[in-house]
Structure 1
Amino acid sequence: MNPIIHPVFEPKTRSWQYIVACPKTKDCAIIDPVLDFDLLHFAVNTEAADFLISTVRNEGYNVTHILETHIHADHLSAAYYIQSTLWTQGQQHALSCIGENVTIVQRYFANRYNIPERELQNCFDHLFHPDETFQVGELTMTFMDLPGHTPDHGGYKIESNVFVGDTVFNPDVGSGRCDFPGGDAKILWQSLQRLLSLPPETRLYVGHDYPPNDEASARDPVSCMTVQEQNDMNKHLKHGVSKEDFIEYRTRRDHDIPEPELIHQAMQVNVRGGKMPGKSHNGKALMQVLVNVPKVLLTG
């Protein structure tokens, strides 16, 4: 039985979100939902997440799982918001899930942002171990351990579809960066080979798309390509690219990429499973923003 897949593109962060449903039972999972952050006004809003909720409602789905491929650095997770909203609307508790190596990322960023340990407890309902299977209605999904972009990164395989997060992108974009804490180009290469060794007709659903904006190659966002298309056309991975060439290019490229503009806000929320920091001020959440300054200006 093939799943029903609803790809939903969020244009501000250029993120793909997915609703994956069992056609027989109408149970579904939501993958990598986005919580909007307005940098101009430093405000969170729920437009993207509300669209997912309205789609679920219009289709008559029951959300059983909210799945994260990893702790995102470029957008805030709407997992907790969607989970809480559905609960207040009378739906059953949807399980928020991620790979078990999320604890590595949580420890690192708890130290970086002085996050109290209590705010990292029970942030997710379930942590998957590699190749663990679970049910969405009568569909069987498998968690694929795909580290390299981040140590906690994973994908979700269902029939001939894999939701790969930021492991690989569409062929004219390439592959995910590896310069986040715990990222590693050598390990990413291994994860990519695991994906590219799947049957050629397997569809790889990406976590982002960054269509070229020059007139000659401009295109609309694309949610997936097959393994065959990736092997034939991916500019970082196509046939003939060696492991050594990939690692050298990926390392050099990552050195020149600026950090995501929402990284401080995203990491402080996402390691908490989509919850805001416990501290607030006059009804607003308090977040830290780290700034590089000359040592002479540091007071403590």
Structure 2
Amino acid sequence: MTDSNASPDALSRATAIVEAAATDAAKRPTIAGFFDEATNTVTYVVHDPQTCEAAIIDSVLDYDAAAGRTSHASAERVVEYVNSKNLQVIWHIETHAHADHLSAAPYLQEKLGGKLAIGQQITLVQNVFGKIFNEGTEFERDGSQFDHLFADGETFSIGTLEGVALHVPGHTPADMAFVIGDAAFVGDTIFMPDYGTARADFPGGDARQLFRSIRRLLSLPRETRLFLCHDYKAPGRDDYAWETTVGQQRDGNVHVRDGISEDDFVEMRTSRDATLGMPKLILPSVQINIRGGHLPDPEDNGVSYIKIPVNAL
């Protein structure tokens, strides 16, 4: 299987951006990571030191599943950082419609401004999960809940920093990675070298496609910094970690380092995924995240409700 939506020029654009940043410090972003241990998720604030324009990537809305209650402690850490640095938020970027946490993008937009963006293949995910949740015709499946839909190879800027979006499907059909200067924010594709790779058994996922997406990312220059969406601490490692490099991944990733074939990866990934349970927050998370982080419209009593489809996944 190949990605018919991949631009043949996208990787060369991304490589050129990384190479330019490698020789010019002014083209490298300042990056702060905020780790949410409850969901093992890292939110990033990426900014241009020259202009103070910034992007927030993969924000987290705190959610108490037992009480059905949302809160904003994780998001407020981001707000406090942005304000302390006098940053101007231009983008709120989602690497995909997450299955393990709710997005805080609408809350952060209200506090900080900026446009909400995701990959254009989000419409595929909306169609699949629109059926699973039996959403009515009032639920638009055209990505209109977002301000911008990134195409593969599309370039963008954060102040003077150059960026390019890369379509990296496999975990879901809509996963994107974002190269900004010498850094790549790779979402749920690859984890720390000692932990491996993301699962590929969600609706629309595909292990073979995931392998090809990862190898595409690992075709970037070896010095490219990779910022991961999650960490789960591999056995024997005591600390959480979420930054690595292309070179470290190619040399040592336990699932997809150089020398591991596509067929071997697919066999491993498929067998491993068959043993995994669903993420504990998948039903509320996906239901909210396909809406751009917005809760379903309140019913006549003023309360929003999340559906729990029984025996559907």
| Structural mapping, 1:83-122, within 5 Å | 83-86=109-112, 93-120=113-140, 122=144
Per the alignment, residue 166 of structure 1 pairs with 188
| Structural mapping, 1:50-199, within 5 Å | 50-86=76-112, 93-120=113-140, 122-199=144-221
| Structural mapping, 1:42-57, within 5 Å | 42-57=68-83
Unaligned stretches of 5+ residues in structure 1: 87-92, 294-300
SS in 1 for 2:186: strand
Structure 1 residue 238 corresponds to structure 2 residue 257: yes
Q: Give yes or no for contact 2:125–2:290 (8 Å, CA) kept in 1.
A: yes
Structure 1 residue 211 corresponds to structure 2 residue 233: yes
Q: Distance in 1 between matches of 2:57 and 2:40?
A: 15
Q: Give yes or no for contact 1:110–1:117 (8 Å, CA) kept in 2.
A: no
Distance 1:118 1:84, change over 3 A: farther
In the TM superposition, residue 240 of structure 1 has moved relative to its aligned partner by 2.3
**Corresponding pairs, count:** 284
CA displacement, residues 128-173 of structure 1 (integer Å, 9 cap, x when unaligned): 1101001111111110110111000001001221000010000111
Q: Give yes or no for contact 1:10–1:48 (8 Å, CA) kept in 2.
A: yes
Letter of the 1:260 partner, please give it: P
SS in 2 for 1:204: strand
Q: Distance in 2 between matches of 1:211 and 1:283?
A: 41
Q: Distance in 1 between matches of 2:59 and 2:308?
A: 23
If the length of structure 1 is used for normalisation, what is the TM-score?
Answer: 0.91
CA displacement, residues 23-82 of structure 1 (integer Å, 9 cap, x when unaligned): 111010000001111123221111111111111011100100000000001100111111
| Structural mapping, 1:5-20, within 5 Å | 5-20=31-46
Q: Distance in 2 between matches of 1:200 and 1:218?
A: 24
If the length of structure 2 is used for normalisation, what is the TM-score?
Answer: 0.88
In the TM superposition, residue 221 of structure 1 has moved relative to its aligned partner by 1.2
In the TM superposition, residue 256 of structure 1 has moved relative to its aligned partner by 1.1
Q: Distance in 2 between matches of 1:290 and 1:116?
A: 15
CA displacement, residues 160-200 of structure 1 (integer Å, 9 cap, x when unaligned): 21000010000111001111111111111111111111111
Unaligned stretches of 5+ residues in structure 2: 1-26
Q: Distance in 1 between matches of 2:311 and 2:294?
A: 27
In the TM superposition, residue 281 of structure 1 has moved relative to its aligned partner by 6.3
Q: Give yes or no for contact 2:211–2:256 (8 Å, CA) kept in 1.
A: no
Query: Which one of 41, 62, 67 corresponds to residue 67 of structure 2?
Result: 41
In the TM superposition, residue 117 of structure 1 has moved relative to its aligned partner by 4.0
Per the alignment, residue 297 of structure 2 pairs with 278
In the TM superposition, residue 85 of structure 1 has moved relative to its aligned partner by 2.4
Per the alignment, residue 20 of structure 2 pairs with none
Letter of the 1:265 partner, please give it: P
Q: Distance in 2 between matches of 1:256 and 1:236?
A: 16
Q: Distance in 1 between matches of 2:107 and 2:134?
A: 23
In the TM superposition, residue 283 of structure 1 has moved relative to its aligned partner by 4.0
Q: Distance in 2 between matches of 1:290 and 1:114?
A: 9
**RMSD in angstroms over aligned alpha carbons?**
1.4
Per the alignment, residue 30 of structure 2 pairs with 4
Distance 1:281 1:248, change over 3 A: farther
Per the alignment, residue 296 of structure 1 pairs with none
Q: Distance in 2 between matches of 1:281 and 1:263?
A: 26
